[in-house]
């Protein structure tokens, strides 16, 4: 019983802060509080997430930009068996912070640029490939030789990126990446990409086409 008590205590202390809304944890693109809300939980090392970004998520952002019809929340969810995914998630946050300032506080534009760059260069850091391109690199080398170059390709200065990332343990970026992971895990997310529509999870959503999602957004707005 005493062991069980300490287990619960450790879990409670390790729990992520409870957010007021999903957009406090993920990147909320387009229009907050829109009648239609789509959440995607994605891993930058996951090729299925990359495909969903190109064929579903980015086209939805382009289709409903400046329409006030859709809130699209991208949750960074690094799967534990993808070795470089956590640092990819931190890198994305560094990139978005810089690009958001460059884009005059336009979060949507900043996230699109960061995600485009990370998914375009995904095979540079995807550890589950054969051969693994990072097999003989340390964490610091992966950050300095791979993620810094990806950030630069998106318009983020190398010095800014490296100063912000450090060795991968800068709490400014480590903690929100960790808390986002805890938030997703607490909601039962075990694979990427996983979708939710207005807070509802359904396995069928992962097989929806762009037309399915577009119709759902339009219907949700018509019913509002």
Query: How do residues 20-33 score in pLDDT, each as one tens digit?
Result: 667 678 999 999 98
Q: How far is the C-alpha of 184 from the C-alpha of 76, rounded, in Å? A: 9
Query: pLDDT band at 6, cuts 50/70/90?
Result: very low
**Long-range own/partner contacts, residues 163-166 (CB < 8 A, 24 or more apart):** 164/94, 164/97, 164/98, 165/87, 165/90, 165/91, 165/94
Answer whether 211's CB lies under 8 Å from 26's CB.
no
Q: How far is the C-alpha of 198 from the C-alpha of 38, rounded, in Å? A: 6
pLDDT given for residue 5 in this prediction: 30
Q: 10 Å Cβ neighbour count for 54?
A: 14
What are 49-59's pLDDT values in tens digits?
Answer: 999 999 999 99
pLDDT given for residue 81 in this prediction: 78
Q: How far is the C-alpha of 188 from the C-alpha of 201, rounded, in Å? A: 10
Would you say residue 13 has pLDDT above 50? Answer: no
pLDDT given for residue 14 in this prediction: 57
Q: How far is the C-alpha of 44 from the C-alpha of 94, rounded, in Å? A: 14
Q: How far is the C-alpha of 215 from the C-alpha of 217, rounded, in Å? A: 5
pLDDT given for residue 17 in this prediction: 62
Higher pLDDT, 171 or 6: 171
What are 54-83's pLDDT values in tens digits?
Answer: 999 999 999 999 999 999 999 999 998 788
**209 is written with which tokens?**
């086409």
DSSP state of 82: S
pLDDT given for residue 155 in this prediction: 98
Would you say residue 8 has pLDDT above 60? Answer: no
Answer whether 208's CB lies under 8 Å from 195's CB.
yes
What are 98-124's pLDDT values in tens digits?
Answer: 999 998 999 999 999 999 999 999 999
**91 is written with which tokens?**
């890198």
Q: Residues 203-223: what's their mean pLDDT?
A: 97
Give the 3-state secondary structure percentages of the chain, helix then strand then coil, rounded to 5. 55, 10, 35
Closest CA to 75 of 147, 151, 172, 181: 181
The fraction of the chain above a pLDDT of 90, given in percent, is 75
Domains of the chain by start residue, with CATH: 21-223 (3.40.30.10)
E strand spans, the chain: 27-30, 36-42, 70-76, 194-197, 200-201
Query: pLDDT band at 170, cuts 50/70/90?
Result: confident
Rounded to 5 degrees, what angle do the CA atoms 128, 95, 206 make? 50
- Structure-token match 């019983």, residue found: 1
Looking at every residue in the chain, the average pLDDT score rounds to 90
pLDDT given for residue 80 in this prediction: 84
pLDDT given for residue 15 in this prediction: 63
Q: Residues 147-163: what's their mean pLDDT?
A: 97
């Amino acid at each position: 019983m005493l062991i069980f008590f300490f287990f619960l205590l450790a879990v409670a202390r390790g729990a992520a802060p409870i957010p007021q809304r999903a957009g406090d944890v993920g990147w909320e693109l387009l229009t907050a509080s829109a009648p239609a809300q789509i959440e995607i939980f994605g891993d930058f090392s996951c090729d299925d997430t990359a495909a969903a970004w190109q064929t579903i998520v980015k086209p939805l952002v382009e289709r409903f930009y400046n329409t006030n019809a859709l809130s699209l929340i991208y949750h960074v969810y690094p799967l534990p068996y993808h070795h470089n995914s956590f640092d990819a998630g931190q890198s994305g946050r560094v990139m978005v912070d810089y690009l958001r300032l460059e884009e005059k506080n336009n979060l949507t534009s900043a996230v699109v640029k960061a995600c485009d760059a990370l998914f375009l260069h995904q095979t540079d850091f995807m550890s589950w490939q054969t051969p693994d391109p990072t097999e003989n690199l340390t964490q610091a080398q992966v950050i300095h030789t791979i993620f810094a170059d990806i950030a630069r390709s998106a318009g983020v200065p190398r010095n800014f990126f490296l100063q912000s990332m450090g060795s991968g343990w800068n709490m400014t970026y480590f903690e929100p990446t960790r808390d986002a992971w805890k938030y997703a895990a607490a909601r039962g997310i075990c694979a990427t990409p996983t979708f939710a529509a207005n807070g509802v999870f359904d396995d069928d959503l992962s097989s929806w086409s762009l037309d399915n999602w577009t119709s759902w957004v339009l219907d949700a707005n018509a019913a509002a």
